[in-house]
Each structure stands twice: as structure tokens, then as C-alpha cells.
Amino acid sequence: MTISQAAGNVCTVSALNTKKHQTSNSVDSEVIYLPNTDCTIKPQACLSAFTSYRVGGAADLYVAPRNLEALQASLKYAKERDLKVTTLGAGSNLLVSDRGISGLVIATRHLRFSNFDPQTGQLTVAAGESIPSLALAAAELGWQGLEWAVGIPGTAGGAVVMNAGAHNSCIADMLVSAEVLSPDGTLETLTPEQLGYGYRTSLLQGGDRIITQATLQLAPGADPAKVVALTKEHKKHRLNTQPYNFPSCGSVFRNPKPYSAGWLIEQTGLKGYQIGGAQVALLHANFIVNRGGAKASDIFCLIRHIQHQVQERWSINLEPEVKMLGEFQGACG
């Protein structure tokens, strides 16, 4: 689906169709319909179904717009109600609190569009496009540059925000520009320099701007069979070295160079250590897996335990790569 760049018909609060009266200080129990869009805002939506950890409480309000107009309408609704906005992509690098998330959660997973331009070698994608799917599609066309990304379980928007990477490559290496939407509904196109990229970081983290689409520079013209083979090799390597048999968020900690977080955790003797249903993965110690029935608090407390133990032994502070959303105060007793 193409994301329109026109402003469209953005709803006003007074035009909202609901079955109950809305006030600025209350959350309605009824579904809210944003007029002139195919968009509905749902109250008390359970977020565990939308995170790769399969844990987390409910969002006060949840919306999953399918185009730019609906996204702008959702932001306008939140602004006029003075609601905090939280953006959710594929949920693959997140830990959502058992207590849920207040305000409005906007999921970008349904913002879908991709365009391969053979004249420029550029790939323009909407925020909700799957990174593994894009990597395979590029490979089948003989376009080089995304082979490394086939095992990253996230969306294009999340990859841009987090500067996702693997196999000594990352999004910042190939990003031409990113289109972002501000809370007031205005669009802006930013360069990699303006995004302030670092290792698994960007200036968009912790901010209130939402990625709508990105343009990547790739290299067309290669033999598709060779690019596909290399892409599949990268995927096989990840499947053989990382645990995919249980829910996880991917890598939990950033690597504190020159060490790898997984090596430090393993050398500390924490492989297999478990709190509740959360366990340090046996295959790769920088993964925490949900062995079944885990709560977000189990995972959070295991993260804190790992940090404490590594700090005690190595005097190194492991910085989480996973983004924690919601309230965790007092989660570990």
C-alpha cells in the first residue's frame, strides 16, 4: 500500500464517532472511529500479542493506521486530548511492562509500501515493511546491500530508529534519507547526519517523531542466485547461533567493545539462569527467552541480575539494547 503524502482529511475531536461521551481526562471503554479513515482506536488492547516476547499489559488506547492520513489523524487525536504517544513497530526489540502503557500506542506495522528504483539503485520503504522480507526481495532482484539484514526480526522504521545491524553492516551505512512525522502532523526529511547515528542508536530514540518511510542505497546488477545464496547463508548462520525456538527480543545488551555481551554473560556463569519463565538462553547468552508463562517482570529482573553480576565480576556496565516501555518500578520486589 502506498503511503500518501497529502494531508488528507484529518479528523477533529469534535467529529469523533463514539458510543460514549469523551473527556480529556478519561479513557472511553468503546472503540473510537476516526472519520474519513479506516482507522479505529481500541481501548485496553493487550500488547502481549504485538511483541516478540509475548508479554506485557494493555495499552490504554491502541491504533494501527494503514496510511499517512490515518497516522496524522491519530496524532491529532492524541494531541487534542493531551495523551502521551508511544510508537510500536514489530515489537521485536521491546519489553512492555505488565502494567501496560498509558496514553495512545500507535502501531506502524500496517504502513506498507516498497519501491525498487533501478535508475538510482535506491529502495524506498514504508515504516511497517519487514526487514527480512525486504532483504529477500532485494536478493531475488540481484540487489546487493541488505544480505546481512535477513535475520533481523523487525520493521524498516524500527531499523532506522535503532540503527539495526549485523555482520559488520548497519542501516546507517546505506540510509539516504528518512521521512519523519512530528506530533503536530508535519513531515520532515532527514539525512543520516541529522539522525546522529551511533552504535545501535540515533537521535530518534526517546523522541516524539515517528518514522513514516526511508530510502536506502543498494547496488543492483548482481547475479540474483549469488545474492540469494549469500542472504540464505546469513540467515542459516543466525538460526544456528541464536535461539529462535522460544520468544525473545533478539540481543538484550549492546556489546561493550572490545568484548561481546554474550561472552561476558557466559563467562559469568549465567547461561541457563532463570527467573520465573525467563531464562538466559543456552545457545546464546545475550538472549533472554520466554520459556513459557514468563511475565515482563521476570525478564526485567533477569536483565537487572545479569547487569549486577557482570558489573561485580568485570566492572563493566552492560547497557540494554532492548527498549523498555511502561512502569517497572518495584518489579523485582
List active site positions: 200, 251, 321
Q: Which residue has the cell 545479569?
A: 306
Q: What is the DSSP letter of 319?
A: P
d(CA 291, CA 285): 14
Contact of 74 with 34, CB cutoff 8 Å? yes
Residues in the chain: 333
> Mapping DSSP to helix (H, G, I), strand (E, B) and coil, where does residue 58 land?
strand
Contact of 96 with 56, CB cutoff 8 Å? yes
Spatial CB neighbours of 322, under 8 Å, sequence gap ≥ 6: 93, 94, 95, 249, 250, 251, 252, 303
d(CA 151, CA 231): 9
